[in-house]
Structure 1
């Protein structure tokens, strides 16, 4: 399977795609202004104090900006420019900030829509300028696709090892490796990690469910009875939060419709690996990858939503894989709305189920941790490959040096975003050296 993209990945949006992006950015900014949903999982817990009037809009905006800026400029923009595919860090993290920043309800959608316009009309110009430079760092950044796609395949192995020990982890690793080799041999046009990831995730879920069922049998055998206090403050908070979200169900259904339509248009990828798969037209594989990510985020999104009264802009992210596979945007709008309706209405039930399945809940934590670990290594390795492609040893020195400098300063740019940001800064520096006649480009 080829893991390289066409050198000229661009942003030639149709009018319908442009209007969808602008309208969706306006809607997400409006929803963020009302503190009903944000995309950044780290911001959501802070919204409870804002909703209950214990903190100000400006203070909450500062938190949102501090937790999101690195991902916007270090991951969202570089990933979009290198793949030609939009992503949630570029679209929804800025609308989180703009929505919270807006002092008036009517201003939030205007600011969000303006950001959507900047994205759809500005990216193509930036993309063309970058490709015309002597050192084409955007084409070099496409080197990131191979390590991201293949190392991401291993996240179930890491999660199993962390939760169930080395023996199960080793078994999962051997099985995944065998399946990758088998897929490359028998189905060369299929993403090699697709089958391996499916089996790995199923193993993790099976082990977690089996452990919880054993625990419940042992508890029953000992005569232990689960009791929930009627005046449990957390149960009361969860109930109030779920009721708040249900009151705005029509608005969430419109949001679900919009996100699903954007995914169906195939100009948007929900994750790092997914963006490269969408760029290559492998929509079924992209749907599979984003579907597996859902298992790592449902418990986090459900519990933070129930605790804070604010949902996720993409919900449980199920609308991503569903959207990729649907045949037209009209069906995507209907299905996306229905999916969000079911998610919001089922939040309380999901919270209760997760309370009874601690191992499954732990699995989601390990899955998210494993996804972060694999992507951090893949993005760093891919960024160094991009540095070598655009500047050889000097490129590696500059990009690697910027990454290490960021580490030494205490990571002002989050680790996952630091390496792609270093490639862009390094590419600009290499172009300056070329214009000073101090450097000869490796390519371009």
Structure 2
């Protein structure tokens, strides 16, 4: 890996840890409301650090890293959740800032290089199951197009969900049949059916939500109540825009991805679809990020996540991506109040965000579970589905279970390790 990508990821990891240490921005949505409690002296540093670790470490080990191994691109949770922990555990003051920056930078470089070392290590195993591991994400590439339909059904009811489903299916088949356009004898333009179907679903989702009008002022009330906390975000604009620029540059360098869906699409070089997914996902996060920012005075290092879609569109141009991402984060901070007030006029759009996030999680949970079963079956035909089913159900009985999203990748990785151990001791022979 060249020096520029390593420098980008090191700076990103270091700055994210610093933002967490100073209570300016954290990635974990659950940690964000806890930070002002610490800043106002209601809880101590030990309580903040313990909370950060409890909320984030399991997701790093059980979700971020396993999903990243399956696609060879870093799921951003693997970095940002750990920098939340590093920043929270680092001491107060200048010494803590220096420690947080150095530790965050080292960790970010380590996770990028370490992922490649893990992939290289697979080649040394008696049974290399890396190619089978890639199957974990294969259902995601097609399955993600259904999430607007699920979001519509959750928000507007079953009937409109059925309408959206039929429109999506018809769109898919029409593009599949007529989406190959001949430009000349040597050149043809192929329109991707998944991307167009997703776009159709998102348009329907916005149309249905936009019809719900309202005269409430929930966000405006929050702004009036927590104006001093919003000012805390604005006064740290420089650090936030630099971090946002680095997030965009790292995405443009294909180092990180915002979510497992776009990660899998990027690994398949389906860049248009990946940018659409990131854009649709960011729509769901605008109300959440802005509302929690107003209430807590703590932002997210990736803002509303719009910069991930921007980074994909500017792939291969990290310097331009850095500048563009910095501008976007600056505009987000500048328009924080105006956007929040605007959402009051369209409560359907505001509520749509929650349904988008829930539907994406549900789609991911199912598709990664199916993909995990496919990968397990490819690793060990005949016992793969047994292992996947058993591990998933056993996890649900655990006192400290992994999140369901992680079980597909975890099942495939653990089965691959198990068959290698059994092969070495002579119990298992691949057919």
Tell me the TM-score normalized by structure 1. Answer: 0.89
Instruction: Indicate whether 1:334 and 2:326 are aligned.
Output: no
Q: Contact between 1:70 and 1:417, CA under 8 Å: does it hold in 2?
A: no
SS at structure 2 position matched to 1:252: helix
Let me know the Cα RMSD of the aligned residues.
2.0
SS at structure 1 position matched to 2:254: coil
State the Cα deviation string for residues 195-254 of structure 1 (Å, max 9, x = none). Answer: 111111111111111121xx55xxxxxxxxx68999x6x444431121100001111111
Q: Distance in 2 between matches of 1:411 and 1:265?
A: 36
Q: 1:229/1:375 Cα in 2 relative to 1: closer, same or farther (>3 Å)?
A: closer
Q: 1:419 offset after TM fit, Å?
A: 2.6
Matching residue of 2:155: 163
Q: Distance in 2 between matches of 1:238 and 1:389?
A: 54
Q: Distance in 2 between matches of 1:268 and 1:185?
A: 34
SS at structure 1 position matched to 2:211: helix
Q: Which runs of 5+ in 1 are unaligned?
A: 1-12, 217-225
State the Cα deviation string for residues 168-209 of structure 1 (Å, max 9, x = none). Answer: 111100111112223333347554321111111111111111
2:139 aligned residue (132, 138, 147)? 147
Matching residue of 2:377: 388
Instruction: Indicate whether 1:201 and 2:223 are aligned.
Output: no
Q: Distance in 1 between matches of 2:162 and 2:154?
A: 11
SS at structure 1 position matched to 2:74: coil
SS at structure 2 position matched to 1:413: coil
2:105 aligned residue (109, 113, 116)? 113
Q: 1:262 offset after TM fit, Å?
A: 0.7
Q: Contact between 2:74 and 2:112, CA under 8 Å: does it hold in 1?
A: no
Q: Distance in 2 between matches of 1:228 and 1:334?
A: 34
Q: Distance in 2 between matches of 1:391 and 1:405?
A: 20
Matching residue of 1:406: 395
Matching residue of 1:318: 306
Instruction: Indicate whether 1:275 and 2:263 are aligned.
Output: yes
Q: Contact between 1:159 and 1:367, CA under 8 Å: does it hold in 2?
A: yes
Matching residue of 1:132: 124
State the Cα deviation string for residues 136-189 of structure 1 (Å, max 9, x = none). Answer: 333212112321111111111011111111211111001111122233333475
Tell me the TM-score normalized by structure 2. Answer: 0.92
Instruction: Indicate whether 1:262 and 2:250 are aligned.
Output: yes
Matching residue of 1:211: 212
State the Cα deviation string for residues 66-90 of structure 1 (Å, max 9, x = none). Answer: 2222321222112221211122111
Matching residue of 2:80: 92
Q: Tell me the matched-pair count.
A: 417
Q: Distance in 1 between matches of 2:389 and 2:165?
A: 30
Q: 1:183/1:438 Cα in 2 relative to 1: closer, same or farther (>3 Å)?
A: farther
Q: Distance in 2 between matches of 1:70 and 1:164?
A: 34
Matching residue of 2:183: none
Matching residue of 1:369: 358
SS at structure 1 position matched to 2:372: helix
Q: 1:433 offset after TM fit, Å?
A: 1.2
Q: Distance in 2 between matches of 1:228 and 1:116?
A: 39
Q: Distance in 2 between matches of 1:290 and 1:300?
A: 16
SS at structure 2 position matched to 1:193: helix
Q: 1:30 offset after TM fit, Å?
A: 0.7
1:437 aligned residue (412, 426, 430)? 426
State the Cα deviation string for residues 316-352 of structure 1 (Å, max 9, x = none). Answer: 1111111111262221111111100000111112222
Q: 1:422/1:169 Cα in 2 relative to 1: closer, same or farther (>3 Å)?
A: same
Q: Distance in 2 between matches of 1:302 and 1:243?
A: 13
Q: 1:364/1:130 Cα in 2 relative to 1: closer, same or farther (>3 Å)?
A: same
SS at structure 1 position matched to 2:358: helix
Q: Distance in 1 between matches of 2:178 and 2:80?
A: 39
SS at structure 1 position matched to 2:320: helix
Q: Distance in 1 between matches of 2:380 and 2:269?
A: 29
Q: Distance in 1 between matches of 2:380 and 2:65?
A: 21
